[in-house]
């Protein structure tokens, strides 16, 4: 019987391998994981400041500024001056940014759906339960 520490190691490794395979599924192969994470945050929250993005992604403001500059140059987002506080700049996705996020989500879902089809009904039920448990662990 494996110890909890051994089980933890096996789970960590499997989680990272699956995450790596999912991250490889993206609509624009030139985008880094960090860039896609920023696009995802803007997709979920409509508009954020550079500071808010840096806080959410746990990076420095200068680092986030470099990422945002690349995404702006690639044509995925726009900067607008905040109407209430003219010192702030809001970042929002444009149509191309929304499209690349939607296409990446669709591609990743399709990849995972195809892998799940290869499993038995019981194995899919086990993974569904594991997903619930892992989601709970992630919020603690």
Which residue, among 103, 82, 100, 102, has the nearest Cα to 91 in the 3D structure? Answer: 82
| Residues contacting 34, CB < 8 A, separation 6+ | 57, 59, 67
Query: Does residue 97 lie in a domain region?
Result: yes
Q: What pLDDT is attached to residue 100?
A: 98
Q: What pLDDT is attached to residue 112?
A: 97
Helices H, strands E: what count in the chain?
A: 6, 3
CATH number for the domain including 87? 1.10.10.10
Q: Tell me the residue range of the domain where 83 lies.
A: 25-138
Query: Does residue 15 lie in a domain region?
Result: no
Query: Does residue 51 lie in a domain region?
Result: yes
Local confidence band at 23 (pLDDT 50, 70, 90 cut-offs): very high
Query: Does residue 121 lie in a domain region?
Result: yes
Backbone angles phi, psi at 135, to 5 degrees: -60, -40
Query: Does residue 130 lie in a domain region?
Result: yes
Residue-wise pLDDT for 45-99, tens only, equals 999 999 999 999 999 999 999 999 999 999 999 999 988 888 889 999 999 999 9
Q: What pLDDT is attached to residue 128?
A: 96
Backbone angles phi, psi at 98, to 5 degrees: -65, -40
Query: Does residue 31 lie in a domain region?
Result: yes
DSSP state of 60: -
Rounded CA separation 78/35 (Å): 14
Query: Does residue 11 lie in a domain region?
Result: no
Compute the Cα dihedral for 133, 137, 139, 140 and give only its sign: positive
Query: Does residue 8 lie in a domain region?
Result: no
Residue-wise pLDDT for 98-126, tens only, equals 999 999 999 999 999 999 999 999 999 99
Q: What pLDDT is attached to residue 42?
A: 97
Number of domains making up the chain = 1
């Amino acid at each position: 019987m494996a110890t909890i520490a051994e089980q933890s190691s096996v789970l960590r490794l499997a989680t990272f391998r699956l995450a790596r395979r999912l991250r490889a599924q993206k609509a624009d192969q030139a985008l880094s994981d960090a860039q896609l994470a920023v696009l995802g945050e803007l997709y979920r929250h409509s508009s954020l400041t550079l500071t808010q993005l840096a806080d959410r992604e746990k990076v420095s403001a200068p680092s986030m500024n470099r990422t945002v500059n690349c995404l702006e140059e690639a044509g995925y987002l726009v900067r607008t001056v905040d109407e209430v506080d003219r010192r702030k700049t809001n970042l929002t996705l444009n149509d191309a940014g929304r499209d690349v996020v939607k296409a990446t989500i669709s591609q990743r879902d399709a990849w995972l759906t195809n892998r799940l089809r290869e499993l038995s009904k019981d194995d899919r039920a086990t993974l569904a339960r594991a997903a619930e448990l892992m989601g709970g662990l992630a919020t603690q």
